[in-house]
Amino acid sequence: MKLQELTKPWAAFNYGFLDESAKRELRRRILKAIAIPGCQVPYASREVPMARGWGTGGLQVTLTLLKPASVVKVIDQGADDSVNASSIRKFFGRVGGVVETEDTGKATIVQSRHRIPEEKLREDQVLVLQVPNPEPLRPVQPDISIARDMHGDADYGQLWLVLYEQLVKSGRIMQGAEYPSLVNGRYVITPSPIPRWDVPKLNQADHLTILSAGREKRLYAVPPYTKVEPLVFDDVPYRVEDHHDKTCYRSNVTGYFVNELPQEDGSSAYELSDSHFGIKHIRKAEGEPVEIGDTWYKNGRMTDDRA
């Protein structure tokens, strides 16, 4: 046996950028996170060639999941062509040799910042959400050590109190994105800052969701077919954003989450937030053979209520 047979030729970087020991650590943490739904699992969080706060947590998870046969979609605020999404997608192509896609249905891994696509994800797809702040208790307890104890005790009273105060002061719950949600009846998570519109898509979903915060060095997961309940009072139902009647001015589609575009005349125009979903509708309207997947929302209402 020659030494050469035992070694690999030198390369500037490993496949998928991260070295194997980093990937091994992440795989173990991901497995733990899946085993304890919603529980924040600390990990070393290596530096990656992107600034912290720019999706480095999601990036590390996706890099660990990558294989040459992977098909990756990256979205930022719902858009595939957003500058940072382009940059991250290009990086996966560069270090993983993967196929890049914008089509939700064709992706094996969807990495996203702040949105879950409108089309339903399947069992064979993984959703990786970039998380800026993994700690739902941060607004009431900035000290991580104490917050960890509170999670241990399932001591979430102060979160209810925050919602109650909003209700009393403003007449309604004011929580926008990152709506605190109870996973599997045990851990409260902040579902990354996805809008309230997207939170029900995590409940009893067919797909696995991994949420990862690189800067804060924590990851957690919502496994398939797991209960995810936004914190609500019995007599005050959960309310998603009032977007059920908004029509996209480009695709003419109604009933999905939209971006509001202020107009010079003082009015607002709306466009679909899920950009490729909009593109598909436009192409279909133009007579192209486009396959649009099943959606969670129909006619502006969540129809897939599995709870």
Partner 1 sequence: MAYVATRGGEHAIEQAERLFRSDLGTITRDRVETVRDNFPYLVDRLMGEASLYEPDLAALALAQAGGDLYEAVLLLRAYRTTQPRIAIAEPVTQPDLFTVRRVSAAFKDIPGGQILGPTLDYSHRLLQVHVLMGEDYTPEPVIPAAEPAPATQPSLTDWQKAQGLIADHPVETVSPEKIPDLTREPLLFPAPRAHKLQSLARADTGGTLALGYSTMRGYGDVHPTVNELRLGEAPVRLRHPRGTVFSAGRVRVSQAEIISKSKSLELGFSATFGWNEVKVIAAAALDLASTRPDAHPASTEEFVLYHTEPVESSGFCIHFKLPHYVTFQSALDAIRDAKANGNAATAATGAKKLPTKEQEVAL
Contacts of residue 7, Cβ cutoff 8 Å, sequence gap at least 6: none
Residues in 146-185 that interact with partner 1 by CB under 8 A: 170-178
CA distances from 133 to 215, 258, 264 (A): 9, 24, 35
Which residue stretch of 2-10, 183-191, 235-243, 299-307 sits at the interface with partner 1 (rule: CB under 8 A)? 235-243
Residues in 179-198 that interact with partner 1 by CB under 8 A: 193-197
- Per-residue mark of binding to partner 1, 102-131 (x: CB under 8 A): -----------xxx----------------
> Which residue of 24, 31, 53, 160 would you call a contact of partner 1, by CB under 8 A?
53
Residues in 273-302 that interact with partner 1 by CB under 8 A: 273, 275, 278-279, 282-283, 286
CA–CA gap between residue 74 and residue 84 (Å, rounded)? 9
Residues in 1-20 that interact with partner 1 by CB under 8 A: 13-14, 17-19
CA distances from 128 to 58, 215, 279 (A): 6, 16, 22
> Which residue of 26, 38, 43, 110 would you call a contact of partner 1, by CB under 8 A?
43
Cβ atoms of 270 and 94 within 8 Å: the answer is: no
CA–CA gap between residue 178 and residue 285 (Å, rounded)? 34
Least distance from partner 1 to the Cβ atom of residue 55, Å? 9
93 Cα distance to chain centroid: 20
By the rule CB under 8 A, 246 interacts with partner 1: no
Residues in 84-103 that interact with partner 1 by CB under 8 A: 84-87, 90
CA–CA gap between residue 237 and residue 305 (Å, rounded)? 14
Residue 177 vs 224, nearer CB to partner 1: 177
By the rule CB under 8 A, 47 interacts with partner 1: yes
> Which residue of 31, 35, 51, 154 would you call a contact of partner 1, by CB under 8 A?
51
CA–CA gap between residue 251 and residue 274 (Å, rounded)? 11
- Interface size with partner 1, residues (CB under 8 A): 72
Least distance from partner 1 to the Cβ atom of residue 207, Å? 20
Cβ atoms of 79 and 52 within 8 Å: the answer is: no
Strand order in the sheet with 218-222: 41-42, 218-222, 208-213, 126-130, 109-113, 71-76, 99-100
By the rule CB under 8 A, 40 interacts with partner 1: no
Least distance from partner 1 to the Cβ atom of residue 32, Å? 13
Residue 37 vs 195, nearer CB to partner 1: 195
Strand order in the sheet with 187-189: 187-189, 181-183, 228-230
